[in-house]
Chains A and B, each alone.
Chain A
Amino acid sequence: MTGSTDTDGGVVAVRLHSQLESIWGTPGGWARLSAVNHNIVGKRFMVLALTFFSIGGILSMLIRAQLATPDSAFIGPELYNQVFTMHGTVMMFLFAIPMFEGFAIYMLPKMLGARDLAFPRLTAYGFWCYLFGGSILIVAMVLGYAPNSGWFMYTPLSSNVYTPGINSDVWLLGITFVEISAVTAAIEITVTILKMRAPGMSLDRMPLFAWYMLGTSGMMLVGFPPLILGSILLEMERAFDLPYFDPTRGGDPLLWQHLFWLFGHPEVYIIFLPAAGVLSTIIPVFAQRPIIGYRAIVVAIIAMAFLSFGLWVHHMFTVGIPHLALAFFSAASALVTIPTAVQIFAWIATLSYGKPRFEVPMLYVAGFFAVFVLGGLTGVMLAMVPFNTQAHDSYFVVAHLHYVLVGGFVFPMLAGLYYWLPHITGRLSVHRLSIPGFWLIFIGFNLTFFMMHLTGLMGMPRRISTYPSSFGWDWLNLLSSIGGFILTMGFALVLADLVLQTRFGKRQVRDPWDAATLEWATATPPPSYNFASLPHIDRRADQLKPKEAGPALATGAGYLGFSRGRQETLAVDMTTGRVEHLMVLPQRTYLPLLTALVTGVFFLSLLFKVYWLTPFAALAAVAMFCLWPAALGEKKDLGPIDIGNGEAVPSSEETHYNLTVMANITAVIVDATLYGSLLFGALYLLVVAPGWSETLSLAPPSPMLVLALVFSAAGTALAWLARKQTERGRNPMLVQGGACLSQLLAACLLSALAFTIPDLFTHARGAISFAILVYMSLHCAVAALISGHCVWRMRGGYVSARRQTDPRLSVIWQGYALACAVLGLLFVQLLAGVGGLQ
């Protein structure tokens, strides 16, 4: 390039930048509250997660201060129980998960070559739910009403009988509120990775981090629903005395453990996979060669995602489970080592065949290797059932879980922080603090937690607030406490380093590490729209040259290198990466904040037992959600639209499997997992729970139930017919309206049935039948709502033979409601029919 075209390019780039910034940017002041851009929301997630990390860290200091000496009277057992419960809860739910969510929200669009995530407003809504839900927990703690039943909330301890008062409700409702953000993030990340990549980026060209996040989000879609269901059931038991877990009325406390660990074990891998994704991204950069074993790693990710759902019982080896089942879960727990080992050796091979360069991020990578490998080895030990009976619930497990989580998450995330912070701030790190910071963390961590292996083997159970001097645990505990304080100093240094870097770090150019992934092709710090034009990817996307691509993209050389006054980005075919359609993303709005506030009123009304308010808050939240689509859609068929480079593609409204349809299918998967967990619970109670042998058979199927089924089926048929007619160019509002009405009738009948169950409060059979009927009724109502909304869209002119998103959604949710109704009917009848079964 000659000097003059360079200058021309610069002028073009600046003009394009100011045009795009005026569309995508968020102004300051109060308008910040309306931000939906992933750059802003991703950073907010991470800053808030680090804030919660500090709170969790302070709590751990209280724990170590209390346990430093025997017979300590620093904080009594009441307070201690709140402190350790909150430490676990904060670190798991308010730090680890939101931290990687925020990181993925910020980074994924840049790595994939998109301008934002698929549903920017949903990202913002998730953030507000996270902030409000987390605040409920922290405020409760400050006021002295924090949860105190341990972070896995085993019932009956967490039940109304043994923990009266608000403490357990704070956990169940606060965490469920926060989980909304996990589910929305999972849906959004899944759809974004599958559809919103740069043209040419086929699945097998994706950078590994995207594969890791695809595995993670897939696991979140099916991992979180069991916990959410468990929390709903336990809260219903606490609030309305419906016996799901009460062994005196046909419930079973073990059902809670199954539901909790059905979430809880995948959770560990949900936390580890993004961190492993960070490692698979960083290690090749510092080894200065492409990763070795790309395909093997992809297979390992998929294997981990599946295997992790077969391990949950290894948290329950001492609850009295048949030996054969123990054998299965023990073998599965050992087997999950294989995909982990594959990744570790792929990294070692990559380093061996490269030219390793030692920078601060690599220091943390080395720390990861040492700590995580030890945690993995103790994990294999714990998977062995006989040894587990000694180590379970002792400090050995405390040591193991910290080695796995700190080694497998905190060390890689710190490596990632030092690697990507220059991207976020545009500045380089101040080395004089980062290296001593690492050593304090590494030494402090090992001093604290290595001792705990021994403390546990010497018989110290976890969760005790004091111990007598005679058990020989004194020195070990004191050393752990000293280590804990060294660890904290290390984290304080890292924090100081981060602040100094953002203020005084040396400004740096694009791509300071010579990386080969797309996120370094943006300017640093990145503009709100990421890329002034979108690249075409012609090789694996971890072997690019961002230093060269970046300036060219900034001048608008790629796709969409112009502004039409709307937030435009591209969607591709899921597997091949061919450009498929043009998406217009919604602009900033206060709707996510307002909807989250109303959602907060819903949760607070449950927490403070203001139950008359609950249905109004729920309806208000639904009404708010109905306002969201108003900003979207087209009133006429547009045909192919120019996207630059001489290509034209249809709009998303005129595409069959557009992102909205895919997100709804993903939501159905989440929902179906929740329902599946509920039906599993019903079967589990029927087969395992005590107190079912003396129940009597109930009446044969009620005609009302059959009638509800008929209405539901009719609704589904009408929705299907309406879509067919739309396809033929008609506007069948009456048929679609009929689908809505029919499903609404089914919903009413089912809720009437739910509230007339005879043994609702006296036996788990009635309670679980009630839950199934309420679920069926709610989903008929959801289907009615979606069909009704479709009618509204048809009236507004948003639907045509080519723009069929709304009729498609109607068919999806009607069909799902019908499937739930059929399955639910079978289960309710099965439950009613048992009597003297056991």
Chain B
Amino acid sequence: MLGAVTGCAAPLSTLDPAGPRASILANLWWIMFVGAMALFALLMVLLYASHRWQTAMQKLSPGQWIVAGGLLLPLPVLVALTVSALLIGEQFLARPADGSEPTRVIAAAERWQWTFSYPDVPGAATTDNLLHIPAGVPVLVEVVGRDVIHSFWIPRLGGKMDAIPGHTNTTLIEADEPGRYYGVCAEYCGVGHETMRFIVEAHPVDEFAAALGGEEQ
């Protein structure tokens, strides 16, 4: 739909996911969008009906309106939504299904650049504003802040995670296909905030170590 229309020219669009996690989030959005539009339309119709179709509206007693609209309508929607969102969240925490350890990278944020290092690839040099990842497998990003708070965000690969000095946060990202993706700093960090972008290169798994100039583990 909309994603298809706008996606091709939008390298940062969450509506044009390029990995399994971002896809789940985009699907969650579309489901919520359709539901929200239906609820919005319902309320607007009711508001109109309260002025124009009063005999129909008076089929429910005042008390019934409050119970139906205040409890019976929102409660199941909210419960279903909250529970499924939590299950998705659980899934995001989990390690890969086959029990393997995901590749680790460290994303260090400093005003106003990203420095990436690769503890799992011996001999790999650090890269500035350029993140190499293997495609088709989950990658565990350890996000650290070196000065103020920043936020690590590659919209097409997954949600964001804050880089907070004194804390180490982790998040999983994954790209389906090798290729080039884009990331930004999502937390305001001063005058260079908008310049703090980075490029993500996803390599086929067997070429990943070579791309870093390191040796296969």
**A residues within 8 Å of B by Cβ?**
77-78, 81, 149-150, 154, 156-157, 161-163, 247-248, 252-254, 292-293, 296, 300, 318-320, 323, 326-327, 330-331, 334-335, 337-339, 341-346, 348-349, 351-353, 356, 358, 366, 369-370, 373-374, 377-378, 380-381, 383-394, 454, 457-467, 470-473, 689-691
Inter-chain contact B193/A464, CB cutoff 8 Å: yes
Contacts A335-B78, A394-B186; is A465 near B194 (CB within 8 Å)?
yes
Q: Does B166 contact A (CB under 8 A)?
A: yes
Alpha-carbon separation in the docked complex, A465 to B32 (Å)? 30
From B25, which residue of chain A is reached at the shortest CB distance? A390
Q: Least Cβ distance of A284 to chain B in Å? A: 12
Q: Does B210 contact A (CB under 8 A)?
A: no
Q: Does B148 contact A (CB under 8 A)?
A: yes
**B residues within 8 Å of A by Cβ?**
2, 6, 9-15, 22, 24-25, 28-29, 32, 36, 39-40, 43-44, 46-47, 49-51, 54, 57-58, 62-63, 65-66, 68-71, 73-75, 78, 81-82, 85-86, 88-90, 92-93, 111, 147-149, 151, 153, 155, 158-162, 164-167, 169-170, 184-194
Contacts A387-B25, A463-B193, A690-B166; is A342 near B66 (CB within 8 Å)?
yes
Inter-chain contact A387/B65, CB cutoff 8 Å: no
Q: Least Cβ distance of A155 to chain B in Å? A: 8
Inter-chain contact A378/B65, CB cutoff 8 Å: no
Instruction: Give chain A's interface secondary structure class.
Output: helix
Contacts A338-B75, A342-B70; is A318 near B162 (CB within 8 Å)?
yes
Alpha-carbon separation in the docked complex, A428 to B63 (Å)? 36
Inter-chain contact A345/B68, CB cutoff 8 Å: yes
Alpha-carbon separation in the docked complex, A214 to B89 (Å)? 38
Inter-chain contact A689/B24, CB cutoff 8 Å: no
Q: Least Cβ distance of B30 to chain A in Å? A: 11
Q: Which residues of A contact B147 (CB under 8 A)?
A: 156, 161-162
Q: Which residues of A contact B160 (CB under 8 A)?
A: 318, 389-390, 392-393
Q: Within the complex, which residue of B13, B69, B170 is in contact with A341, where a contact is CB–CB below 8 Å?
A: B69
Inter-chain contact A384/B149, CB cutoff 8 Å: no
Contacts A253-B166, A457-B15, A467-B194; is A296 near B66 (CB within 8 Å)?
yes
Inter-chain contact A157/B190, CB cutoff 8 Å: yes
Most buried by B among A341, A351, A393, A473: A341
Contacts A335-B78, A337-B78; is A253 near B188 (CB within 8 Å)?
no
Inter-chain contact B43/A390, CB cutoff 8 Å: no
Q: Least Cβ distance of A775 to chain B in Å? A: 25
Inter-chain contact A459/B155, CB cutoff 8 Å: yes
Contacts A352-B57, A356-B50, A471-B10; is A457 near B169 (CB within 8 Å)?
no
Q: Which residues of B contact A691 (CB under 8 A)?
A: 166
Q: Within the complex, which residue of B14, B36, B89 is in contact with A378, where a contact is CB–CB below 8 Å?
A: B36
Inter-chain contact A459/B70, CB cutoff 8 Å: no
Alpha-carbon separation in the docked complex, A293 to B74 (Å)? 18
Q: Least Cβ distance of B123 to chain A in Å? A: 30
Most buried by A among B44, B85, B151, B189: B85
Q: Which residues of B contact A392 (CB under 8 A)?
A: 160, 186
Q: Which residues of B contact A385 (CB under 8 A)?
A: 85-86, 89
Inter-chain contact A389/B161, CB cutoff 8 Å: yes
Q: Which residues of A contact B194 (CB under 8 A)?
A: 77, 464-467
Inter-chain contact B82/A334, CB cutoff 8 Å: yes
Q: Within the complex, which residue of B22, B71, B167 is in contact with A254, where a contact is CB–CB below 8 Å?
A: B167
Alpha-carbon separation in the docked complex, A459 to B13 (Å)? 5
Inter-chain contact B32/A381, CB cutoff 8 Å: yes
Q: Which residues of B contact A690 (CB under 8 A)?
A: 166-167
Contacts A338-B71, A466-B194; is A460 near B12 (CB within 8 Å)?
yes
Q: Which residues of A contact B165 (CB under 8 A)?
A: 156, 247-248, 253
Q: Least Cβ distance of B163 to chain A in Å? A: 10
Q: Within the complex, which residue of B28, B43, B47, B54 is in contact with A384, where a contact is CB–CB below 8 Å?
A: B28
Alpha-carbon separation in the docked complex, A462 to B189 (Å)? 11
Most buried by B among A342, A366, A383: A342
Q: Within the complex, which residue of A77, A380, A462 is in contact with B191, where a contact is CB–CB below 8 Å?
A: A77
Alpha-carbon separation in the docked complex, A330 to B89 (Å)? 11
Q: Least Cβ distance of B53 to chain A in Å? A: 9
Q: Least Cβ distance of A702 to chain B in Å? A: 31
From B22, which residue of chain A is reached at the shortest CB distance? A390
Q: Least Cβ distance of A392 to chain B in Å? A: 6
Inter-chain contact B70/A296, CB cutoff 8 Å: yes
Alpha-carbon separation in the docked complex, A457 to B28 (Å)? 13
From A466, which residue of chain B is reached at the shortest CB distance? B194
Q: Which residues of B contact A156 (CB under 8 A)?
A: 147-149, 165
